[in-house]
């Protein structure tokens, strides 16, 4: 069972549905595995929990 993980910002429910549908479709097209076989996990991650280039993303956004 193919699994797709997405770590990103908080999204509205409609955007979550859209993202899951798009990931599933793209994964199926790329692999030939039926869409029904895919599992997609969305993990909301705030800017206070992500580092980019050794700096907390929250700190980068304040500059």
We report the CATH number of the domain holding residue 9 as 3.30.429.10
What is the number of structural domains in the chain? 1
Alpha-carbon distance of 26 to 28, in angstroms, equals 5
Token pair for residue 5?
Answer: 């993980």
Q: Quick one: average pLDDT of 46-51?
A: 92
Question: Domain span at residue 46?
Answer: 3-62
β partners of residue 56: 51
Q: Roughly how many angstroms between the first and final C-alpha of the chain, as a whole number?
A: 42
Token pair for residue 62?
Answer: 């304040």
What is the per-residue pLDDT across 1-44, written as a single tens digit (0 to 9) for each? 999 999 999 999 999 999 999 999 999 999 999 999 999 999 99
Q: What pairing do the DSSP bridges indicate for beta strands 39-44 and 3-8?
A: parallel
pTM score, two decimals? 0.82
Token pair for residue 19?
Answer: 């993202």
């Amino acid at each position: 069972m193919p699994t797709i993980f997405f770590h990103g910002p908080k999204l509205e429910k409609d955007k979550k549905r859209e993202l899951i549908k798009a990931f599933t479709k793209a994964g199926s097209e790329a692999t030939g595995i039926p869409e029904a076989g895919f599992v997609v996990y969305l993990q909301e991650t705030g800017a206070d929990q992500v580092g980019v280039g050794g700096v907390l993303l929250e700190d980068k956004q304040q500059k």
